[in-house]
Chain A
Amino acid sequence: MTALPFATDAAPLFAAAARSRRRCGLVPAAAMGLLLGYLVVVPLILMVVSSVRPGGFPLDPGFTLRHYAAAYGDPRFWSLVETTLLFGLGSTVFALLLGIGLAWLIERSDLPGRGVLRGLVLLPMATPPLLLAIAWAMLLSPRNGAINRMLMDLFGLGTAPFNIYTVPGLIFVQGLALVPTAYLFLAPAFANMDPSLEEAALTSGAGNWMLIRRVLLPILRPAILSAAVFLLIVTLVVFDIPGTLGTPGRIFVLSTRIYYLVSDSPTGMPLYGQVSALAMLFLVLLLGLGWSYHHLTRAAQRYRTVTGKGFRPRPFPLGRGRSVAFAALALYFLLSVVAPLVMLGWTSLMPYQTGITAAALKLVTLANHRDFLGNARVIAATEHSLVIAVASATAVAVLSLLLSWLTMRLKVPGTRLLDALAFIPLAIPGVMIGVALVYVYIALNPILPIYGSIWIIAVAYLTQYLPFGSRTTNGVMVQIHPEIEEAALTSGAERGRILRRITLPLVWPAVAAVWIWVAAHALRELSSALMLQGRNNGVIPTLLWDYWSGGDPTRTAAGGLWLTVALVLFLALWQAVARRAGLQRPS
């Protein structure tokens, strides 16, 4: 669309550059292939093997297809699929709509204080989903929810107006939890949009609706589709929110079924065979969605908005709409941050879980906070959590950038395979990644003794979060016209220097987004950390789980609150460092 037409006499030069590019990329591509093989193919193979082992453990003897028969022949299966799709699609659409709105307001409008808003919009990531679900249950339970009771008292209602234990309730909470992810997917794409396109459309007489439909949405299509595919798969496999809010109302989805097969099956052993068989459905779905994504965005040049021509994003003047925008943002923060945190704060001050009432005020105590902060294990767990978060976030960010560069820029042979490999872990349930890592690192223990250490958890997160990283950097890389790098190449710049001096600064917002997303998720991720827990690798989420599963929700709330505070400080520090290094656009 806005790509500069190539000068006819320069075309042979660019063609030679492209050939050289592919040759140079062969060695790093092979290295990347090996690394992805290790990180992704090994768990994948073990999962497939597990699905055909009679005992369900990959090293068990024998062959069977009965796990497939049991998983897909269950009379409840199709009902589970239906509910799962409803929940997944609803949550995805909800998160996408809010994410698009927020990304546009923060990245493209003239809203003041956008630096602060960028940090605030990520805040919900700080609350572990389990605690978010508990907080919303306490707010919107039809029996005793604080908001329901307030509305019933206020308007004299006979029944509670809201019921969180319904599919719309689940969609609402899951959607809210996913908004920061949607925002991080979309913000770099919004930030990289060349305003001249909008100006051209407006001066040609296009109205706002036509501008959105004919210009903005087509340009943003790769980022939106990327986010949609990612969010949809995530919603199909997440457990915390549907597990906590769905179970009381008998709303079961595929992830709750997987949890049942792993933890609750009365057979005494996790039914890994059936879990793996069910995961094949996710895999097929993911590959199908991945293929659709490629099909829909195959004409990559149509989405290039960052070209050799310089531009400075022009903020859209909100005018009188500014107050409406602020009100909308305030409502979002109220629902996603303030309301759950108030409930967590209240619970953390109680000796046992109880609703917000005047009578309960006499129970207020700081004992939970004292206990949490005075617990010697908190220091070690915090240290472990930070090391794992920084290591896995850095590894995912670097790997994603290199992967996108190899697959989208150098277009080395096997590009599609590399890209697919980076996306596949999304379909492998965290528990199966854990199972695979246990075997791999027990086998490697004599040469790489990380079984039971914090590093095995970091490796698990690297595998789990690579799909987010690679999708995000791909979404931005597709917007950058190769002419800029080609111009540098024909001017004699080395490839590494081009990556460092040209490509990296352009994709920096996306790389930074990947880093902070992975770090935040690594700080709160539970299932893999539990699975890989050893003698001395406890992290903050396993500590909180220890409280929660030991019947101590009030101390869990206190810990969750401090985790949120720590993450806020972490985000603030990250923003300050990024700004000082000149790596973030001024707001």
Chain B
Amino acid sequence: MRCKRWIVWGAAFALGLFAAAAVRAATIDDSLNKLAAEAAKAGSVIWYESSPDDQAQKIVAAFNKRFPDVKLEHIRDTGGNSIGARIVQESQGGARTADIATVGSSIMMPLIERNLLAKVDWTGLGAAPKTVLSPYAITCTAVVYVIVYNTELVKEGDAPKNWADLLNPRWSGKIGVWVRAEGQGALSAVWGEDKVADFIKKLNANHPVLEKSTFPLAQQVAAGELLVGLGIYHTAQPPLQRGAPIKVVIPEPAPVDMLSDVIPAQAKNPAGGQLVALWLTTAEGARAYEDATSRGNPLIEGTKTEALLRGRTLAQYPPEEAKREAEVVERFNKLLESGATQ
């Protein structure tokens, strides 16, 4: 009898979940259709984002397959801080700026402080609550920090598997790290600032080679110039996909920087911007983005990134602590640059 009751309750719960998902799907589909109709009337949608054009065009093609009447124009900004600066200047000058921009918390927060971002009721539009960071931002993708090593020059058994392995003197002078300590900064959200600072000092004893970007870092590991590198998952993919002898290991905890979509307050086609942002949180949009760029949204089920990070401890700062994170990263940058071991 009791068992029967459990079955009934279980079925009801499952049905409830299914109904909620169906309602959300219906809501999000309705929202997408309404936004698409509105966006098509307002002209093209300008999207500032950092992926190379070839990759971005694949996302645009997938978007246009679903929304053929909306013209999406991707403008590649080189990441770093230039996307935020461009929005500030264009907004101050009253020029046309982006309708949607994909940025990290460190860029988003100064834009919010300058009142340059629009608030959107993302959940009201049907977005899954876990993807909504704030009224200003909805998650799009994540930068995942990883260990990369050369499989021809490093035996499987000797390969580094976690943070402590990177301190092994065997990598002295043959380990590369990004000159920006963003990954170490995110790591401090779990480890604490002092423990990470101590780790960097010990790493400095291994004379790490500093690289301007993690793209060349992965290439240097592929070329055998470096044996091991502390890089980023998606920047290791180009050589990996071309058959380079490298392998990626996700350390525990795994530092992550979430990138979000924001709608500038002066967007000429805000409906278009919201349409793109919302579509990127659907299974279809998230997969299109991940397939094109190799970086995906760990909050969307069905993405490879979600599968990759499932069950792992993610090290990341909440967006509202962006300033604190910036101070920590600045401190770690100085430590890396100085090569200090004490």
Contacts A267-B110, A535-B73; A141 near B81 (Cβ below 8 A): no
Q: How far is the CA of A569 from the CA of B36 in the complex (A)?
A: 49
Report chain B residues within 8 Å CB of A281.
Answer: none
Which single residue of chain B is at the shortest CB-CB distance from A439? B93
Q: Which of A55, A252, A546, A548 contacts B337 (CB 8 A)?
A: A252
**B182 surroundings in chain A (CB, below 8 A):** 266
B105: which A residues are within 8 A, CB to CB?
Answer: 268
Pick from B52, B94, B185, B224: contact of A547, CB under 8 Å: B52
Does A352 lie at the interface of the complex (its beta carbon under 8 Å from any beta carbon of B)? yes
- For residue B109, CB closer than 8 A to chain A, the reply is yes
Partner of A268, one of B77, B81, B209, B220: B81
Question: CB of A549 within 8 A of chain B?
Answer: yes
* Chain B residues whose C-beta falls within 8 Å of the C-beta of A268 in the assembled complex: 81, 84, 104-110, 322, 326
State which residues 148-187 of B face A: CB under 8 Å: 173-174, 179-180, 182, 185
Type the 1/0 row for A127-150, where 1 means its CB is closer than 8 Å to any CB of B: 000000000001001011000000
**A515-551 interface code vs B (CB 8 A; 1 in, 0 out):** 0000000000000001101110000000001111111
Given contacts A250-B337, A266-B326, contact A243 B212 (CB under 8 A): yes
* Least Cβ–Cβ distance between B144 and chain A, in angstroms: 15
Q: Which residue of A lies closest to B52 (CB)?
A: A550
From B135-143, B239-247, B297-305, B308-316, the one touching the partner chain is: B239-247
Chain B contact surface mostly: helix
Contact: B93 with A442, CB < 8 Å? yes
Q: Are B219 and A553 in contact (CB under 8 A)?
A: yes
Q: Is A192 an interface residue (CB 8 A)?
A: no
* Cross-chain contact of A266 among B75, B82, B174, B333 (Cβ < 8 A): B333
* Contact (Cβ within 8 A) B85 A354: no
Contact residues in A for B95 (Cβ distance below 8 Å)? 442, 445, 451
B171: shortest Cβ distance to chain A, in Å? 12
A266–B223 Cα distance when bound, in Å, is 30
Neighbouring B residues of A60 by C-beta, 8 Å: 92
The reply to whether A546 and B76 contact each other, CB–CB distance below 8 Å, is yes
How many angstroms from the CA of A411 to the CA of B158 in the assembled complex?
Answer: 74
Please determine whether A551 and B238 come into contact, CB atoms closer than 8 angstroms.
yes
Q: Is A552 an interface residue (CB 8 A)?
A: yes
Instruction: Give per-residue flags for A330-365: 1 if the beta carbon is below 8 A from chain B beta carbons, else 0.
Output: 000000000000000000000111110000000100
Interface centre among A138, A266, A351, A553 (most CB of B within 10 A): A266
Q: Which of the residues B52, B104, B329 comes within 8 Å of A549, measured between beta carbons?
A: B52
Asked if B80 and A263 make an inter-chain contact with CB atoms under 8 angstroms apart, the answer reads yes
From A247, A250, A552, name the one whose CB has the most chain B CB atoms within 10 angstroms: A250
B residues 305-342 touching A (CB-CB < 8 Å): 322, 325-327, 329-330, 333, 337-339
- Could you mark each residue 14-57 of chain A with 1 if its beta carbon is under 8 Å from any beta carbon of chain B, else 0? 00000000000000000000000000000000000000000101
Task: Kindly identify, within residues 372 to 407 of chain A, every residue whose CB is under 8 Å from any CB belonging to chain B.
Answer: 375, 377
Return A276 CB to nearest CB of chain B, in Å: 14
Please determine whether B89 and A533 come into contact, CB atoms closer than 8 angstroms.
no
Task: Give the Cβ gap from B103 to chain A, nearest Cβ, in Å.
Answer: 8
| 226-244 of chain B: CB within 8 A of chain A | 226, 235, 237-239, 242-244
Q: Which residues of B contact A55 (CB under 8 A)?
A: 114
Residues of the B chain whose Cβ atoms lie less than 8 Å from the Cβ of A551: 215, 218-219, 235, 237-239
Q: Is A265 an interface residue (CB 8 A)?
A: yes
* Nearest Cβ on chain A to B215's Cβ, whole angstroms: 4
Complex CA gap A443/B90 in Å reads: 10
For residue A174, CB closer than 8 A to chain B, the reply is no
Residues of A near B243 (CB, < 8 A) are 351-352, 363
Q: Are A352 and B244 in contact (CB under 8 A)?
A: yes
Q: Are B85 and A269 in contact (CB under 8 A)?
A: yes
| Residue B64 interfacial (CB < 8 Å) | no
Decide yes or no: A264 and B78 within 8 Å by CB, A57-B88, A144-B224, A269-B110 being known contacts.
Answer: no
Name which residue of chain B comes closest to A542, CB basis.
Answer: B76
Residues of B contacting A244 in the complex (Cβ-Cβ under 8 angstroms): 212
Q: Mark A235-256, 1 if CB is under 8 A from B, else 0.
A: 0000000011001101010000
B220, A533: Cβ atoms closer than 8 Å: no
Which of B75, B107, B114, B179 lies in contact with A264, CB distance below 8 A? B179
Between B73, B242, B327, the greatest number of chain A beta carbons within 10 A of the residue's beta carbon is seen for B242
Shortest Cβ gap from A150 to chain B (Å): 15
Nearest-neighbor residue (CB-CB) of B57 within chain A: A377
Determine whether the beta carbon of B330 is less than 8 Å from that of A266. Answer: yes
Question: Does A270 have its Cβ within 8 Å of any Cβ on chain B?
Answer: yes
Which residues does chain B contribute within 8 Å of A548, judged by CB atoms?
215
Q: Scan A250-285; emit 1 where CB is below 8 A from any B CB, else 0.
A: 101000000000111111111010000000000000
Taking Cβ atoms with an 8 Å cutoff, the residues of B that contact A are 46, 51-55, 73, 75-82, 84-86, 88-90, 92-95, 104-110, 114, 173-174, 179-180, 182, 185, 209-213, 215-216, 218-220, 222-226, 235, 237-239, 242-244, 322, 325-327, 329-330, 333, 337-339
**Which 3 pairs show the lowest CB-CB distances between chains A and B?**
A550-B52, A442-B93, A268-B106
